[in-house]
Structure 1
Amino acid sequence: MTEVLFYHLQNMSLESVLPPLLEKSLERGWRVVVQSTSQERTEALDSHLWTYRDDSFLPHATWRSGDAEDQPIVLVVEEANPNRANVRFLIDNAGLPADADAYDRMVLVFNGDDTDALAAARRAWTDCKARGFEVTYWQADERGRWQRRD
């Protein structure tokens, strides 16, 4: 069964939150695809993931790369899964893919300060529950640590 995690961003940027979540996915041996809704955002994330920390980088590629199928993380703007990922991150209000049930885990990261993003996340939550997915909601505490909320 697909597990769907909703990460509610408030007073934090995707650029600060996404790399640690991706690192945890790689530590677990998972292959990941990150879907945004624009080529510009994907290109910005591509650059960011190479330089977000002085002592580290995340091995990845965009869907245009000739070796995308061999990469542990692939950034896409469509529903494609070029690296046969078992985890899919949805950012920037990217919709649930048609093959959502093919993933072990999906992670929806949404901006809680954006009314459109909040509405899209609520629709996705309802859709995921209707499909029988296991859903959880996560929000950062005052120290920036993720806490599961019920």
Structure 2
Amino acid sequence: MTSKADFYVLPSSDPDARGRFLCRLVEKIGALGHQIYIQTPDEQEAKRIDQLLWEYRPEAFIPHHLLGDDKISSPVQIGWNEQRPEHKDVYVNLNLDIPQDALEFERILEVVVQTEDVLTSTRKNYKTYQSNGIQIDMHDMRKKSG
């Protein structure tokens, strides 16, 4: 059962800001030894996130792979639809909705940009976490950018 959900609220309405912030977040959490699963809405977005992680910083290396490639094992996995990793450590939700089985992960992360669809869905997800007794931490990055 999820013990904690973190919301990172970005000041930008640029969807690419979400991906850039995700790379920094994954690097930081991965350095702490966590296994991370990134849930995307579809294969196209999964491949875009995969590319962002490869290009993130020349001096950084974030080992990752798309789920479904059984020949590779890494601490960061990216999937879509019903795909799930074997671990239940960190779940990064880039989908609009949170699936019920995501609540089985130890920690859930939501990266929020200022677009109506993302704001509406993360408000709904917030209520889901709240009704399931999950501790919620808000990280308002808007205060840090100005």
Q: Same fold (TM over 0.5)?
A: yes
Corresponding residue for residue 30 of structure 1: 34
Corresponding residue for residue 116 of structure 1: 117
Instruction: Return the alpha-carbon distance in structure 2 between the equivalents of residues 33 and 144 of structure 1.
Output: 27
Q: Structure 1: which 4+ aligned runs deviate by more than 3 Å?
A: 141-145
Instruction: Return the alpha-carbon distance in structure 1 between the equivalents of residues 29 and 105 of structure 2.
Output: 13
Q: How many residues align?
A: 142
- Quick check: 1:58 aligned with 2:59? no
TM-score (norm 2): 0.87
Corresponding residue for residue 104 of structure 2: 102
More helix as a share of residues: 2
Amino acid at match of 1:72: P
Percent identity, aligned pairs only, is 21
* Structure possessing the higher relative contact order (Cα contacts under 8 Å, 6 or more residues apart): 2
Amino acid at match of 2:74: Q
Deviates more, 1:132-141 or 1:76-85: 76-85
Q: CA deviation at 1:109?
A: 1.2
Name the SS for the 1:99 alignment partner: helix
Gaps of 5+ in 1: 146-150
Name the SS for the 2:108 alignment partner: strand
Q: CA deviation at 1:142?
A: 5.2
Q: What are the equivalent positions in structure 2 for 1:2-13 lying under 5 Å apart?
A: 2-11=3-12, 13=17
Q: CA deviation at 1:85?
A: 4.1
Q: CA deviation at 1:98?
A: 1.9
Amino acid at match of 1:121: T
